[in-house]
Copies of this chain bind each other. A is one copy, B any other.
């Protein structure tokens, strides 16, 4: 029996913090409800969620809180990868038990220059320890941040050993040739390639990919999903250019604080500005500049609580 795979536009949901920097779960749930109501999948606990600034216990509680709040786990792909095997296994196991569509898994990223053999063994150990037929792993390739990447030969070997578990990849390399190579080599086997940003959404869909998992889906949710629905339409290229303009504005600031600035502005809630160190919020000047540029481009976010 083939269950339906998660596809489309997913957001690495930004994490709201209270004044004491603890996770504000009710506000997080509201944000995820807003995203799901806009047809955005929840790739929460990603890079843009500051997941690696959260303890394994905090991450576990966030997965549980979302499901307990009644959000649909079939629209969830939480990030469960860390540097250590026990934490990764524990989080992954719980996500699977709760019915999440899949998990997005970073390679262990402390040691640099590790071999594909070592990474293969790491993912193998996770799969064997989780030991659940429902497990779907999306490999997370983000060399600019993790430094440790997921090569094509590694994907090939994992797919051969675990064809029903290795479900796809998020390619945040920013290198279209790499995304294209993944689409061509593994797409025909049912391996789902997600672009790491909407910049490559149209190209990815035209190449047979599954969609994108993008920071800016936190804020430009409606328009990005609009292109996903209409990618075969005659105005798809124009829609892509519209998305690119907004993306470029965000990209000219540090991304995570910029996302939080925009959400704070359009929800009229400055609590959203908080980040966990080592990240810091935009300066007041940067914040003003960001909002002005977005407004000048006709951008706004509606329906935030």
Contacts and interface: CB of A to CB of B under 8 A. Distances in A.
Contact of A279 (B58, B111, B144): B111
B57 A86 contact: yes
**How many chain copies?**
2
B110 A145 contact: yes
A232 interface: no
Contacts of A277: 85, 108, 118-119, 121-122, 124-125
Interface residues of A, number: 40
Contacts of A125: 21, 277
A150 to B, nearest CB: 12
A109 B52 CA distance: 9
A85 B53 contact: yes
A120 to B, nearest CB: 8
A213 B90 CA distance: 33
Interface string A123-136: 01100000000000
A52 to B, nearest CB: 4
Interface string A60-90: 0000000000000000000000011111001
Contacts of A112: 144-145, 147
Given A110-B53, A147-B147, A279 B118 contact: yes
B119 A278 contact: yes
Contacts of A276: 84-85
A280 interface: yes
A112 B122 CA distance: 23
Given A21-B125, A85-B21, A111 B55 contact: no
